[in-house]
Chain A
Amino acid sequence: MNNLIILPIAIPLFAGIILIFFNKNIRIQRWLSVIASLAGIFFSCIIVQTVHINGIQTLEIGNWKAPYGIVIVADMYSSLLVLTTSIIAFTSLLFAYSTINVEREKFFFYPGVQFLILGVSGAFLTGDIFNLFVFFEVMLMSSYLLIVLGNSKMQLRESIKYILVNVISSALFVITVAYLYAVTGTLNMADLSVRIAEMGQSGLLTVISLLFLIVFGLKGALFPLYFWLPGSYQAPPSVVTALFGALLTKVGIYSITRVFTLIFYHDPSFTHQLLAWLAALTIIFGVIGAIAFWDIKKIVIYNIITAVGIILFGVAANTPNAVEGSVYYLVHDMIIKGALFFLAGAIIAITGTSNLRKISGLMASHPFLGWMFFIAALALAGIPPFSGFVGKLKIVQGGFEAGEYTISFIVLLSSLLVLYSVMKIFINGFWGEPKPEMANQKGSAKGMLLPIVILLTLTVAYGLGVEWLSPYISQAAETLLDPTIYIQAVLKE
């Protein structure tokens, strides 16, 4: 159907609006938001299948032809990300039901989540660079609400930093789009690509591409622009951190990938080399943070930064294997980061602290949680039967093909340190004797386990079913490697 690919944007918008009317009735809110997210999963599955069979789907909003109106474009890369986003949204809602307190629920928590999903799906699907900015703002404003909702002292302090950084980067985004529009005279991504190919990527355009790298690097936590992330992500409740960690930085990564594979791909010896080294430094600083801290949430947060580096190195290496690997790894990372933040949230809910030195011997009272954490840790590090393996393998393989030996070794070494950082949580938190002061705290993880089980099942299935998934992923990589497929689908010449 013609309007199919607008549904991942229209459904959360509709659900968010309806939820505003029922903000005092928690029962209706919960049912409506879970129905909306299930509908989101259903329709994004259909979109993935349609794109797989019929190629890239486009929708010219308001029936205006391609370079003049806004186009919504669903290629395999964005439809896979939209599907993962809806799955994360669904599990986060399930997790929120048992963890979010009533005051937050009554004060527009669920509409906030729906508008966040709307912004993220919109950013993945749009084919217009200014529309991308608008969806960024929709996503960021909902995230401002979610980060400050509950107004504890820490949330207020961190939300000021978060908003400040994002307002500055949004202003820079507008300025960059203005420069780009002044040079090329168009805002449609496919048309931009055509025009830049015609006029050649001059020095001015390379500068603009670097400005985009700074903007999206600020959103996606690339070295040296990740400084705001560890503090801001620690402040809100676990379910909000899970949503942020699984979705927000990934939109930054998606945008960098899109911009550097579709629009600015003419001077790779400069732009892609710079991106590769920034990715390497991001990995290094991420793992340093991950092994340095004794706080569960901090460790997982720094693992986000490491993953950002690994995915972007795959894009920067720009060989078929590396790009395919980075698509594998991006989808894997969204799922596993959601699962890890849920697990961290469950541990904190049980013990009442996130300080690893105060926790020990959880295995005796919560064995199921313990083994789930163990599986998640192995999947994160990329141990073969689980999902992290194929992506990292392909990225390293592609890195060697591109001659980036140093950075490929950094990626391999980082896996070891990532494994160490999460095993530290497992060994110190789950093994050992139960501490006496923990005996009287009998918090339970009831209700929190279901979303974790769903995500871990997906992780295992993703790892085992690579053979079945690979046609989808290679179709996504094909579009990223050859911009003409995207351009022909949008401009239809």
Chain B
Amino acid sequence: MKTNDLIFQTVTKTAVFIIIIYSLHLFFSGHYTPGGGFIGGLMTASAIVLLLLAFDIKTVVNSLNIDYIKMTATGLLIALLTGVGSFFFDVPFLTHTFSYVDLPVLGKTSLATAVLFDLGVYLVVIGVTMTIIQTIGETE
């Protein structure tokens, strides 16, 4: 028997975008305010979990079409490469740097290589969480 969850699905369609935007906000604000890669990644994953709850696994897998294990590996690779990058500047492993840049819309912004490391964390957290949930969900 299929239940009619029209309200749930309609609300989800709007709420998922709000959650993802909030998680990106948390991700980018990590340097100066509470937040960062870990919490941002968890919140993005929670948006996908909401999709999984509102629709079935097949729909979500088909519409997003992401291999979460590869996503985890990509995140690890990004984090490692930000560390290895320091080899070329003759400074110790994982030395990070930053500079102030005038961006067209945002104005004077500080860009730090630590954000790239955080991007790695962000991808790993999403990848691991979704791998766990999808694997358990698909097991008969």
Give residues of chain A (53-85) contacting chain B, Cβ–Cβ below 8 Å. Answer: 59-63, 72
- Assembled-state Cα–Cα distance A338/B61 (Å): 44
Query: Which residues from A are CB-within-8-Å of B80?
Result: 10, 13-14, 17
> Which residues of A have CB within 8 Å of B84?
10, 14
A61 with B93, Cβ < 8 A, contacts A3-B87, A10-B84, A14-B80 known: yes
Q: Are A6 and B93 in contact (CB under 8 A)?
A: yes
Q: Among the listed B69, B76, B96, which residue makes an inter-chain contact with A62, where contact means beta carbons less than 8 Å apart?
A: B96
Task: Enumerate chain B residues within 8 angstroms of A17, measured Cβ to Cβ.
Answer: 73, 76-77, 80
- B94 and A61 contact, CB distance less than 8 A: yes
Asked if B138 CB lies within 8 Å of chain A CBs, one says: no
Chain B residues lying within 8 Å of A14, measured Cβ to Cβ, are: 80, 84
Contact residues in A for B76 (Cβ distance below 8 Å): 13, 17, 20
Known contacts: A17-B77, A17-B80. The answer to whether A2 contacts B92 by CB under 8 A is yes
Interface: A21 (CB within 8 A): yes
Chain B 63-74, CB-CB to A under 8 Å as 1, else 0, gives 000000110110
| B87 surroundings in chain A (CB, below 8 A) | 3
Q: Are B72 and A63 in contact (CB under 8 A)?
A: no
Specify which chain B residues have a CB less than 8 angstroms from the CB of A6 in the assembled complex.
93
Contact of B92 among A10, A20, A21, A62 (CB under 8 A): A62
Pick from B73, B77, B83, B92: contact of A63, CB under 8 Å: B92
Report the minimal beta-carbon distance from B70 to chain A, rounded to whole angstroms: 6
Expressed in whole angstroms, the minimum distance between the Cβ of A45 and any Cβ of chain B is 20
Other-chain residue from B73, B86, B93, B95 in contact with A20 (beta carbon distance below 8 A): B73
Cβ distance B4 to chain A, nearest Cβ, rounded Å = 40
Q: Are A63 and B91 in contact, with the CB atoms below 8 A? A: yes
Task: Report the bound CA distance from A60 to B73 in whole Å.
Answer: 26
Q: Chain A, 1-34, contact with B by CB distance < 8 Å: what is the 0/1 string?
A: 0110010001001100110110100000000000
A62 in contact with B94 (CB, 8 Å) = yes
Q: Do the beta carbons of A10 and B73 come within 8 Å of each other?
A: no
A232 to chain B, nearest CB (A): 24
B90 at interface, CB cutoff 8 A? yes
- Size bracket of the B interface: 10 to 19
Which of A14, A18, A59, A63 neighbours the largest number of chain B CB atoms within 10 Å of its CB? A63
Docked Cα-Cα span, A17 to B86, in Å, equals 19
Shortest Cβ gap from B60 to chain A (Å):
23
Q: Which residues of B contact A18 (CB under 8 A)?
A: 73, 77
User: How distant is the Cα of A14 from the Cα of B69 in the complex, in angstroms?
Assistant: 16
Name A's interface SS: helix
Which residue on A lies nearest to B97, using beta carbons?
Answer: A63
Given contacts A3-B87, A17-B77, A17-B80, contact A10 B70 (CB under 8 A): no
Contact status B92-A61, CB under 8 Å: yes
A70 nearest in chain B by CB position: B94
Q: How far is the CA of A10 from the CA of B70 in the complex (A)?
A: 19
A72 CA to B70 CA, complexed, in Å = 30
Which of A21, A23, A59 lies in contact with B93, CB distance below 8 A?
A: A59
For residue B91, which residue of chain A has the nearest CB? A63
Are the CB atoms of A3 and B86 closer together than 8 Å? yes
CB-based nearest B residue for A62? B94
> From residue 39 to 60 of chain B, which have CB atoms closer than 8 A to chain A?
none
A20 touches B91 (CB 8 A): no
Q: Which residues of A contact B86 (CB under 8 A)?
A: 3
Are the C-beta atoms of B95 and A63 separated by less than 8 Å?
yes
Given contacts A3-B86, A20-B72, A21-B70, contact A10 B93 (CB under 8 A): yes
Query: Could you tell me the distance between the alpha carbons of A18 and B76 in the complex, rounded to whole angstroms?
Result: 10
Give the contacts of A206-234 with B (CB-CB under 8 A): none
Cα distance A63–B113 when bound, in Å?
Answer: 14
Q: Tell whether, in the assembled complex, residue B73 and residue A21 are in contact, meaning their CB atoms are under 8 Å apart.
A: yes
* Least CB distance, B69 to chain A, in whole angstroms: 6
Cα distance A17–B76 when bound, in Å?
7
Write the nearest CB–CB distance from B103 to chain A, whole angstroms: 26
B96 touches A20 (CB 8 A): no
CA distance A72 to B95 in the complex (A): 14
Q: How far is the CA of A475 from the CA of B94 in the complex (A)?
A: 30
CA distance A3 to B9 in the complex (A): 53
List A residues 283-333 near B (Cβ within 8 Å).
none
Q: Are B92 and A60 in contact (CB under 8 A)?
A: yes
| Chain A 461-474 per-residue mask, 1 if CB under 8 angstroms from chain B, else 0 | 00000000000000
For residue A6, which residue of chain B has the nearest CB?
B93
When the two chains form their complex, are residues B91 and A10 in contact, meaning their CB atoms are under 8 A apart?
no
Report how far A6 CA is from B83 CA in the complex, Å.
11
CB neighbours of B94 from chain A (8 A)? 61-62
A60 and B95 CA atoms in complex are apart in Å by 9
| Residues A146-166 near B (CB distance < 8 A) | none
Bound Cα distance A20, B80 (Å): 14
- In the complex, what's the smallest C-beta–C-beta distance from B119 to chain A, in angstroms? 15
Nearest residue, chain A, Cβ from B67: A21
Write 11 A-B pairs (CB below 8 A) sorted by A numbering.
A3-B86, A10-B93, A14-B80, A18-B73, A18-B77, A20-B70, A20-B76, A23-B69, A59-B92, A61-B94, A62-B94
Which A residues fall within an 8 A CB radius of B? Answer: 2-3, 6, 10, 13-14, 17-18, 20-21, 23, 59-63, 72
Which 6 A-B pairs rank lowest in CB-CB distance, beginning with the nearest? A20-B73, A6-B93, A63-B95, A62-B94, A17-B76, A17-B77
